[in-house]
Structure 1
């Protein structure tokens, strides 16, 4: 691959370092990202006006990309508000109380169910379902919201999305780029997924329990809010139970429809969102009666306010990192070198071309390249690149292409898909009502340890 690095690449890399340092110092990075976009525009176009236009257009681009996620979070929040106010949510989570009796059981049950649903339909729709049903009962047994968020994140956006055994979108992209059958990538990823998943989830749980015992995490359930819910319940308990059963049945029907009609990704999320709108409307009519028309609007507006409040912080950050991929050409025009695959991918290729080759270095490089390409918060934008690099390395090594491809795929999606990029964890953070930066901070050590262990393990599989 004949990749030429320009000043744009180095400026982008410098700003990534500055952003990481600012995040470590727990400072807001929105201004840094906006300045980064402007400077990239100045260097690339040599025009102040075009750079200013590019700043605005990059924010618009990021908003468009995030809009489906903003809307599903907003709608689910609006629906949840009505279910809480009417008391139906309490009836929905009661059956899970028989299974979830402790913080440990809550963590593992939430994680395993999240993983299963994410394998079938990807994490986005699974986040909405799991969050609405499991978070209240998890908090009651002593698992804090951040614990539930970690479980949902690592099992869903980590294990399930990085392996993608059923939908197979990720392994197909990497396999095509590597020039091998999808089945070979999936077979090679099974042991790597098991090791990575076990290390990350067990490490995260150990750290969570340790902090809970030391009192560093608040595990109290808001009993005052619960009492307020009880005082507002005007729907008879028997009817609430019936409505709760119907709502659960409707979401199960959604799952059946996803499986039957192969709804995936955005379509699956849209199905959940559309269902939530109708549940919001019907329950509002039953509960608010004559005031339902106004209350439906009020709840939708409240949900949208919550969604944009959460994502308002993320949009400038996402705008900068989207420029690392195909968005750069759309915002500033075709000013990158002729054979450029995007700034982030170019940096990954450059890294792979300057390291000596042996199984240890090859595995470490694929992990590093995967992680770098995941910095745009997508995880999928760079997995074709890791497949291509795995193909190059395997020629020099005389084999190991399937293991290297699977390893790069896991690294890219764990980082960007995502568990340690703040703008990628927003759906889980929003549903669980925790700070996205706190969630990524809690995921960081388990994921880094997991990547190190999995990379070493991969060497012995080659």
Structure 2
């Protein structure tokens, strides 16, 4: 016997808010403002208080920040590691060996997609795309792959497959699980999302390859020279000043100039000590995260390792990133100077995390309003026992 669900004005307001968010996404506009307005309307409809409605706008972002701060922290720490690796140029060394196996445009397409996917799983697509674009894309063009085809492979594998599953860092599964309530585990969401992302991503890559395979040419250095001349017309500089943060990062990375370390200049200027540590961390970093993946995966294969619960997986990823960052900075800068540089890397990591994820807070806060329990109560400023489960009520009544 099921209890009767009463649909109130707040339920309709929440449903209208979800529809507005979806419509805004279809129109390819930012959904932050619709989420804020929807939060206010839902709170006003439930509490009948304009004061509570205004307060809920702040409460929604505050609740989302508390629930998702571990995700911000992981992004910040992984970004700080990437900055430390950039100073040693270990990030470039990690992917340079794959240039040698790009023998033609067909293999270059596959390698670009595979490397972008793997790196994006650990470093997130926005830092990973500039790295792959600067180091591997020129080699792919020399092998005969058209620049647009390379961009398709990188975008589908990075911003598409890796970000939609986000299996290692766990940002996307964590947000989805939090919005769905306590009954859904982030690990379960991550497992399902991984399968879906692989299926859709591989299909998208195959279709992309079939659409461009006739444009692949025999390899030649002239192809790269022609592309570099086209990229040197000022368009890249213009793109760096407009559009979203992600677009600016990608535009800055796809110029003809190679990446350079912040403190150490290009590879030719590295002294023998830095060159040695650059090679060490180019090997140590993948091994460290391979160990993290093993700890995450082995329990699911029935091997006797303690299963990670809750946020333990994210904590392990963040802890590994922070430990490697400290070691890499100490190796590159010296122990004394590393005390200051490590702090700078962490600060830069948080700046990036909030640039990349700050807009998520009001959006997540709106969806948390429909989750019921303590989160909805905190947003609406009512006791948890009296907070509505708007989303589940609507699903039950459907």
**TM-score, normalised with respect to structure 2:** 0.65
1:430-445 matches, cutoff 5 A = none
Counterpart for residue 317 of structure 1: 363
C-alpha distance in structure 2 between counterparts of 1:307 and 1:161, whole Å: 11
C-alpha distance in structure 1 between counterparts of 2:46 and 2:113, whole Å: 48
Number of residue-to-residue matches in the alignment: 315
Given the alignment of the two structures, is residue 10 of structure 1 paired with residue 12 of structure 2, yes or no? yes
Given the alignment of the two structures, is residue 146 of structure 1 paired with residue 192 of structure 2, yes or no? no
* Change in 2 beyond 3 A, CA 1:231/1:34: farther
Shift of 1:130: 8.8
Counterpart for residue 354 of structure 2: 308
Shift of 1:311: 1.7
Contact 1:84 1:229 in 2 (8 A): no
Given the alignment of the two structures, is residue 349 of structure 1 paired with residue 388 of structure 2, yes or no? no
Given the alignment of the two structures, is residue 136 of structure 1 paired with residue 131 of structure 2, yes or no? yes
Contact 1:30 1:313 in 2 (8 A): yes
Where do 5+ consecutive residues of structure 2 fail to align? 141-149, 173-179, 217-226, 228-246, 299-304
Shift of 1:9: 1.0
Counterpart for residue 278 of structure 2: 240
Shift of 1:300: 0.8
C-alpha distance in structure 2 between counterparts of 1:80 and 1:94, whole Å: 16
C-alpha distance in structure 2 between counterparts of 1:69 and 1:196, whole Å: 20
Shift of 1:325: 0.9
1:336-415 matches, cutoff 5 A = 342-351=389-398
Counterpart for residue 203 of structure 1: 204
Shift of 1:335: 8.4
Shift of 1:209: 7.2
* Change in 2 beyond 3 A, CA 1:207/1:161: farther
Of 288-297 and 77-86, more deviation after overlay is shown by 288-297
C-alpha distance in structure 2 between counterparts of 1:33 and 1:302, whole Å: 28
Given the alignment of the two structures, is residue 22 of structure 1 paired with residue 24 of structure 2, yes or no? yes
C-alpha distance in structure 2 between counterparts of 1:198 and 1:79, whole Å: 31
Instruction: Select the residue among 230, 242, 250 that pairs with 2:267.
Output: 230
Listed one character per residue, the Cα deviations across residues 428-449 of structure 1 (whole Å, up to 9, x for unaligned) are xxxxxxxxxxxxxxxxxxxxxx
Listed one character per residue, the Cα deviations across residues 144-174 of structure 1 (whole Å, up to 9, x for unaligned) are 34232213145656xx999xxxxxxx9xx79
Counterpart for residue 340 of structure 2: 294
**TM-score, normalised with respect to structure 1:** 0.57
Spell out structure 1 runs of 4+ moving beyond 4 A: 95-101, 108-111, 129-135, 154-157, 193-197, 207-215, 217-220, 333-340
Counterpart for residue 376 of structure 2: 328
